[in-house]
Amino acid sequence: MFVDYILSTFDYTGTLAFAISGALAAARKKFDLFGGVFLGFVTAIGGGTLRDMMLNIPVAWLHDIWYFYIVLFGVIITFLFRKHIEKYSKTLFLFDTIGISVFTIIGMQKGLALDIHPILSVMMGILTAVFGGIVRDLMCVDIPLIFRREIYATACLIGGCIYLLMVEFSCPDMVAIIVASLIIFIVRTLSVMKNWSLPHFK
């Protein structure tokens, strides 16, 4: 029960982070308020929607109005305090990284709960984490982060595999969730700070 409560908290936190990420992207492209709400909403629920449809389960945000309220709150906060938020460097990066850290584990949890093969559950987690950001970047006519040289989905892959290992060795769920999420956040952050990247096509 406690783990379910923590997962719900993580889910709402990731939704808020991605909503702010989408709203900041809309602000930088000078979208109007409606555009900001729409982009924030698509960014926040895009990955989860695709995941739930692929797993043939009820789409989460259609059965919980709090997702809409959280997205709206994130967009309004960004709209009102954008200048203060953007004083901090790489704010969009921060909220995007929080989002992928949380949603990778949420997606994996849903896959594993439905007896999806563990390896495929990792892919489900990555899809949940990155798809909303892909849609956001495409709508802003930017190259999606997942297709750039930066370590992005790879951080989700590393964290997802570590989560599987911890579950395999019977670590408490709460510990596995927190450790795996932190690893995704740390790997992604260090990759930007240290300019790490994967080999690319010539």
For residue 120, is it within any domain?
Answer: yes
pLDDT surpasses 90 at 105: yes
Question: End-to-end CA distance of the chain, in Å?
Answer: 51
Q: Do the domain assignments include residue 201?
A: no
The answer to whether position 24 is within a domain reads yes
Closest CA to 180 of 158, 153, 149: 158
pLDDT of residue 202: 63
pLDDT at residue 75 in the model: 93
Angle between helices 173-193 and 153-168 (to 10 degrees): 150
Euclidean distance between CA atoms 173 and 167, whole angstroms: 7
| pLDDT tens-place string over residues 129-153 | 999 999 999 999 998 888 877 788 9
With 80 as the cut, is the pLDDT of residue 117 above it? yes
pLDDT at 90: 63
| Band (2; pLDDT cuts 50, 70, 90) | low
Within-domain flag for 7: yes
pLDDT digits (tens, 9 = 90+) for 157-186: 999 999 999 999 999 988 999 999 999 999
Q: Identify whether 154 is part of a domain.
A: yes
Looking at 35-44, 55-64, 79-88, which range is the least confident one? 79-88
Residue 202, domain member (yes or no): no
Q: Is 197 among the domain residues? A: no
Total number of domains constituting the chain: 1
Q: Is 0.85 surpassed by the pTM of this model?
A: yes
- Which of these, 162, 177, 54, 172, lies nearest to 118 by C-alpha position? 162
Which residue has better confidence, 84 or 72?
Answer: 72
In a domain, 82, yes or no: yes
**Domain interval for residue 75:** 2-192
| Alpha carbons 13 and 7: distance in angstroms, whole number | 10
The reported pLDDT for the residue numbered 45 is 95
